[in-house]
Amino acid sequence: MKFKANFFKILVLVTLPIFLMGCIIVKNEPSSPNVPDDKIIEPSKPTNPNDSNKPTKPDGSNKPTKPDDSNKPTNPPKDPIIESRIYRLFYYDSNYNIYYVDKKVNLVDNAIIKTLSKELQTPPNKNLNKVFYPKVSVKSAKVSNDILKVDLSKEFYSEINLGSGSESCMFQCLTNTYGYNLNVKKVIITIEGKNYASGHILMEDGDYFTVDYSNVKPLK
């Protein structure tokens, strides 16, 4: 009996450490760490990717502005082209005689009709009458089908104030001057685009004045 009791004690002493080691191993198994409540991190709320990448509407602050042209250099006006030429000018006297004079004239920018009309405002002597008037302007002039068409301003009617003989001579001198220097024989003269009409002369559509050098004398 004594032997059995000793054997039992030995068995207990041997098995007890093994049992205790098993308990220790179990207690040392890894477990989820305890995190204090105040350290819990809430996941951030996902943002809408469309909002973060959505382009903002331009406010126009970066919109290019129209360049200021106030300081833009302007092209300087071109100098007129002046050329001296000999032109034949026709005038009439109080007896309805027509004379011509060849004169050297400065042609400006090739405006022949305007240049000739200006020269006809100043007769070469006091015995001759002016054929054109300062208040009258040339609105247009062109040659088409060998016919010169000249359109004058409305002041022509109020400026001439002539009798039938003087009016006829005035138109003949005007026609001869234009026709001779532009080398045409037919001249249509209108006023503000309309046919010329006075108490002495009435022009219809297609009517024209014809150059006539008969009985014309050179001025001496």
What confidence tens digit (pLDDT) does each residue in 60-115 have?
Answer: 556 666 656 556 667 777 778 889 999 999 999 999 999 999 999 999 888 999 99
If you average pLDDT over every residue of the chain, what do you get?
A: 81
- pLDDT above 80 (res 216): yes
Q: What range does the domain containing 158 cover?
A: 82-218
Residue 10 has pLDDT above 90, yes or no: no
Pairing of strands 147-152, 186-191: parallel
Q: Which of 29-33, 157-161, 197-201 has the lowest mean pLDDT?
A: 29-33
| 121 falls within a domain | yes
pLDDT in tens, 111-154: 999 999 999 999 999 999 999 999 999 999 999 999 999 999 99
Which residue type, as a one-letter code, is found at position 198? S
- Alpha-carbon gap, residue 195 to 33, rounded angstroms: 115
Residues of the chain with pLDDT > 70: what percent?
67
Task: In whole angstroms, give the CA distance from residue 96 to residue 16.
Answer: 164
Q: What is the CA radius of gyration of the chain?
A: 57
Coarse DSSP helix, strand, coil percentages of the chain, rounded to the nearest 5 percent = 30, 25, 45
Q: Is 49 contained in some domain?
A: no
> Do 102 and 180 form a contact (C-beta atoms < 8 A)?
no
Of 127 and 200, which is predicted with more confidence?
A: 127
Q: Report strand pairing: 138-144 vs 147-152.
A: antiparallel
Q: How many domains does the chain have?
A: 1
What pLDDT does residue 80 have?
A: 80
209 against 39, higher pLDDT: 209
